[in-house]
Amino acid sequence: MKPRWVLFAVLVLGVGAAVVWRNLPASKAPAGASAAKGGPRGVPVLTAIVAVRDVPIWLTGLGTVHAFNTVTVRPRVGGTLDTINFTEGQSVEVGDVLAQIDPRPYRSALEQAKARKAQNEAQLANARRDLERIRALVESDAESRRILEQQAATVAQLAAVAQAAEASVADAQLDLDFTTVRAPIAGLTGVRFVDAGNLVTANQATGLVVITQLQPISAIFTLPQQHFPALRRRLQADSSPPLVHAVGDQGVVLAEGKLDLIDNQIDTSTGTVRLKASFPNADFALWPGQFITAPILVDTRVQAVVVPSEVVQAGLDSPFAYVVKADQTVEARAIKPGPTVAGFTIIETGLTPGERVVSDGQSKLQPGARVSFEDTPKVLASGVKPLISGQ
């Protein structure tokens, strides 16, 4: 009886196993069944489509912002500083009154100079009348020619004195005008160095205030010397100044300007060349002393073949990219990459627009390997404008 019960138990277990097998989901079926049904599964990868677009080429330098002009305002005459007519940090225009020095001594000196001038002019007029009378007497032989020559010399002397008196009046007037201290440039005032009531002197070492011109504003930055040929080619091809961006710490473009100057020599200690650019700075986004990144546009590659930068792989002989063929196997194709711009690379040779290339997962691949992808291939937008780039 025991063998019959054993046989019956084996049959029951077999039927139960068959029922469970039929009710298993497809995902829990053994790997061998899937392989037999659909073939081996490929290596999962991410892909991108080789695109064509216009690519601006930027060379990126580092620099600092400088005021377009900086002037230390100093008094040009001495005296008591009666009033200060500006507040610290105020925006001023050319000719605005900044301070007033006591004008009374200079007004008095002007009046004295005018009196001397009037006196000298009266003497000159009288001497000229005498000269005319003596000339008439000489013509009638009533006076000697020597007296005429002496009077002519006197007239010339008095004319020179009158001219000097006129210059003295102009000089005194200028000193009086200088008692009103005016802004020589438009800009922002800084910290006031002297308070009202102090005695100031002409051209004293400590000025009254420093004015900085911030509109426009300048930036001085450097580029490695290997970029100098590309910059020269740009200037030779187009006489208009190249576009320059001022980029802040967060990668945001703060201002757009133009290149003003390439320094006349390369710094031998650093191997860099200095450049100067100017920016309108209408919103005061740039401030003197500020550190910036300064990309400069030197070229635009029209209809360039581009791929995401991660597509390019380093090979023993040359860079290469994995190209996905129609049968979903990959080919390791040698390529010649160009400049890298804002996350994508220009391909000089090796790839054709529209081809599908592997952008992630290359470490698991080898030539001829089958791949699988469920992603939408990455397509580069044609209107993206890079902010920071360069090669």
- 377 pLDDT band (50/70/90 cuts)? low
Residue 83 CA: distances (Å) to CA of 181, 199, 206, 273, 315: 10, 12, 17, 47, 76
Determine the Cα–Cα distance for residues 308 and 310; give it in Å rounded to an integer.
6
- 11 pLDDT band (50/70/90 cuts)? low
- 383 pLDDT band (50/70/90 cuts)? very low
Does the pTM surpass 0.75? The reply is no
- Residues 6+ away with beta carbon under 8 Å from 325: 331
Q: Identify the pLDDT of residue 363.
A: 87
Sheet holding 79-84, edge to edge: 180-182, 97-101, 79-84, 199-200
Q: Identify the pLDDT of residue 41.
A: 73
Q: Identify the pLDDT of residue 374.
A: 66
Q: Identify the pLDDT of residue 134.
A: 82
Whether the predicted pLDDT of 222 surpasses 50:
yes
Burial of residue 96 (number of CB atoms within 10 Å: 0-12, 13-18, 19+): middle
For the record, the structure tokens of 146 come out as 């020597």
- 286-327: per-residue pLDDT in tens? 999 999 999 999 888 888 999 999 999 998 888 999 999 989
Q: Identify the pLDDT of residue 32.
A: 38
- 244 pLDDT band (50/70/90 cuts)? very high
Q: Identify the pLDDT of residue 316.
A: 86
Whether the predicted pLDDT of 210 surpasses 80:
yes
- 269 pLDDT band (50/70/90 cuts)? very high
Share of the chain above pLDDT 70, in %: 85
Mean pLDDT on 92-121: 94
Mean pLDDT on 270-289: 94
Q: Identify the pLDDT of residue 39.
A: 53
Determine the Cα–Cα distance for residues 298 and 339; give it in Å rounded to an integer.
12
Higher-pLDDT residue of 259, 339: 259
Mean pLDDT on 380-387: 44
Mean pLDDT on 47-71: 91
Whether the predicted pLDDT of 107 surpasses 90:
yes
Within 10 Å of residue 316's Cβ, how many Cβ atoms? Answer: 5
Mean pLDDT on 132-137: 84
Q: Identify the pLDDT of residue 21.
A: 44
Q: Identify the pLDDT of residue 385.
A: 42
- CB–CB of 277/260 below 8 Å? yes
Q: Identify the pLDDT of residue 249.
A: 85
Q: Identify the pLDDT of residue 91.
A: 93
Determine the Cα–Cα distance for residues 33 and 361; give it in Å rounded to an integer.
27
All domains in the chain, ordered by first residue = 43-55+302-372 (2.40.420.20), 59-68+215-300 (2.40.30.170), 82-102+179-207 (2.40.50.100), 103-178 (1.10.287.470)
Sign for the pseudo-dihedral over CA of 108, 110, 113, 118: negative
Mean pLDDT on 364-375: 84
What is the SS3 string spanning the chain? CHHHHHHHHHHHHHHHHHHHHHHCCHHHCCHHHHHHHHCCCCEECEEEECEEEEEEEEEEEEEEEEEEEEEEECCCCCEEEEEECCCCCCEECCCCEEEEECCHHHHHHHHHHHHHHHHHHHHHHHHHHHHHHHHHHHHCCCCCHHHHHHHHHHHHHHHHHHHHHHHHHHHHHHHHHHCEEECCCCEEECCCCCCCCCEECCCCCCCCEEEEEEEEEEEEEEEEHHHHHHHHHHHHHCCCCCEEEEECCCCCEEEEEEEEEEEEEEECCCCEEEEEEEECCCCCCCCCCCEEEEEEEEEEEEEEEEEEHHHCECCCCCCEEEEECCCCEEEEEECEEEEEECCEEEEEECCCCCCEEEEECHHHCCCCCEEECCCCCECCCCCCCCCCCCC
For the record, the structure tokens of 316 come out as 């023993």
Candidate from 10-19, 74-83, 207-216 with smallest mean pLDDT: 10-19
Mean pLDDT on 269-295: 94
- 17-50: per-residue pLDDT in tens? 444 444 444 444 443 333 334 456 788 989 999 9
Q: How many residues does the chain have?
A: 391
- CB–CB of 320/352 below 8 Å? no
